[in-house]
Amino acid sequence: GKGNYPHFMLKEIFEQPRTVKRTLDVYTHPAHQTLGLPRAAADQINLADVSSIYMVSCGTAHYATRVSEYWFEQLAGVPSKTDIASEFRYRRPALAKNSIAVFVSQSGETADTLAALRYCKEQGIKTVAIVNVQTSTIAREADVVLPTYAGPEIGVASTKAFTAQLVVLLAFAVAIAEAQGHLDEAEVAALSNDILTVNSAIEKALSLDDVIKKEVIHFEQAADAFYLGRGVYYPLALEGALKLKEISYIHAEGFASGELKHGPIALITAKTPVVFIAPFDDLFEKSLSNLQEVAARSGPVLLLSDEKGIAHAGSAPTRSIALPNTPEIIMPIVQTVALQLLAYHAAVALGTDVDQPRNLAKSVTVE
């Protein structure tokens, strides 16, 4: 049941400290407290020999892989490529030797993702499934299964499955980085330490629920909304926009902040709320100048950042939310929680059917 929550979606958002912890525990070495893959999976994949990674999935699962692309490349130095399953399967891409293919799916039944998996098996490359439903077809057919432990997800809008996917992908990236000597023991230990604070960071983000709820005023009367981010926050902008459009029916798009000048800025008016996802990091100054460009065209800006970022932004954003200060590596997960709550409260304010949005099915078993 929904317990004390009005919707499954809200219940599932609030379950994340536990579902993320439960998932992370399985990917944490009990004695060393370092992240990695369970022994059998690591051996089967042969982590030291992986030369490149293809990741194939749909919807929110696809955005999880797009976030993880930065981790596989930056932490592990392994070239990675992501694709939408419906594109991948019909393109029949040429696959590099010693590459592996990773399929991410909550349900494990998504038709296009399954077809892409079968294609990769035919091509003879190793297939890895990151799935929430362990008895699913994708889990059965893949060579290696890395489960997420989000528990049953009822809300059509994926929330806790997404954050569980992110932590498994992060553990996977750390495991490859270590196996290939891209990170040494001390670096793995330090990084793991940071990552293992994620559930308390999620708790802190959830405690801002009332603050975030007030910010839905940002979307009042909006027909269109834009989400902008750079680096790892670019795919999160796509995910934030997907969440909003799915359940509130407000037309929302995510863009890479750097692309603003290459087209999207033409859309900015006083009636197009923009959400900037920009913690105070190396790319912050770049994001801030994009934010100022939007503000200069009267675009109302909601800045999702941290105290430092908000202090630096001064009066440029119309509104802002200060998320907890956390290690940089887990900030995308903390930002995710804010994006979920923002979409949820916007939908509730508009009176839509949050758990069963129109036209959508929880699992897309036909293409």
Q: Which residues are catalytic?
A: 362
Pick between residue 107 and residue 290 the one whose CB is nearest to ligand M6R: 107
The residue with its CB nearest to ligand M6R is 59
Contact 229, 338 (CB under 8 A): no
Q: Considering the complex, what minimum distance in angstroms separates the CB of residue 206 from ligand M6R?
A: 19
Q: Which range of residues in 28-36, 104-112, 200-208, 326-334 is near ligand M6R by CB under 6 A?
A: 104-112
| 107 near ligand M6R (CB under 6 A) | yes
Q: Considering the complex, what minimum distance in angstroms separates the CB of residue 158 from ligand M6R?
A: 4
Q: Considering the complex, what minimum distance in angstroms separates the CB of residue 98 from ligand M6R?
A: 26
| 61 near ligand M6R (CB under 6 A) | yes
| 305 near ligand M6R (CB under 6 A) | no
DSSP strands (E only) in 177-279: 224-229, 251-256, 274-277
Q: What angle do CA 192, 227, 340 make, to 5 degrees?
A: 55
Q: Considering the complex, what minimum distance in angstroms separates the CB of residue 131 from ligand M6R?
A: 8
| 364 near ligand M6R (CB under 6 A) | yes
Rg (CA), the chain: 20
Of positions 24, 58, 170, 278, contacts ligand M6R by CB under 6 A: 58
| 82 near ligand M6R (CB under 6 A) | no
Q: Considering the complex, what minimum distance in angstroms separates the CB of residue 205 from ligand M6R?
A: 19
- Amino acid (1-letter code) at residue 70: Y
Q: Which range of residues in 54-62, 115-123, 229-237, 345-353 is near ligand M6R by CB under 6 A?
A: 54-62
Q: What is the DSSP string of 328-346?
A: GGGHHHHHHHHHHHHHHHH
Question: Three-state DSSP class for 225?
Answer: strand
Pick between residue 59 and residue 317 the one whose CB is nearest to ligand M6R: 59
Pick between residue 266 and residue 360 the one whose CB is nearest to ligand M6R: 360
Contact 149, 164 (CB under 8 A): yes
Of positions 28, 110, 326, 340, contacts ligand M6R by CB under 6 A: 110
Contact 178, 78 (CB under 8 A): no
Site string for ligand M6R, 218-247 (x = CB under 6 A): ----------------------------x-
Question: Three-state DSSP class for 228?
Answer: strand
Pick between residue 23 and residue 105 the one whose CB is nearest to ligand M6R: 105
Contact 295, 320 (CB under 8 A): no
Counted residue by residue, the chain has a size of 367
Which position has the token pair 């892409």? 116
Bridge partners of 126? 100
Q: What is the dihedral of CA 302, 308, 311, 312, to 10 degrees?
A: -90
Of positions 65, 68, 106, 192, contacts ligand M6R by CB under 6 A: 106
Site for ligand M6R in 131-190 (CB under 6 A): 156-158
Give residue 209's region: left, alpha or beta (phi > 0; psi -120 to 50).
alpha
Distance from C-alpha of 13 to C-alpha of 336, rounded to nearest angstrom: 10
Task: Give the phi and the psi of residue 4 in degrees, each rounded to 5.
Answer: -90, 5
Task: Give the phi and the psi of residue 336 in degrees, each rounded to 5.
Answer: -55, -45
Q: Considering the complex, what minimum distance in angstroms separates the CB of residue 309 from ligand M6R?
A: 27
Question: Within 13 Å and on the Cβ side, how many CA atoms surround 85?
Answer: 32
Of positions 23, 113, 127, 199, contacts ligand M6R by CB under 6 A: 113
Name the packing angle between helices 331-350 and 198-206 (round to 10°).
30
Q: Considering the complex, what minimum distance in angstroms separates the CB of residue 318 from ligand M6R?
A: 27
Pick between residue 53 and residue 85 the one whose CB is nearest to ligand M6R: 85
Of positions 34, 68, 80, 105, contacts ligand M6R by CB under 6 A: 105
Question: Within 13 Å and on the Cβ side, how many CA atoms surround 182?
Answer: 22
Q: Which range of residues in 23-31, 252-260, 335-343, 358-366 is near ligand M6R by CB under 6 A?
A: 358-366
Residues that bind ligand M6R (CB under 6 A): 58-61, 105-107, 110, 113, 156-158, 246, 360, 363-364
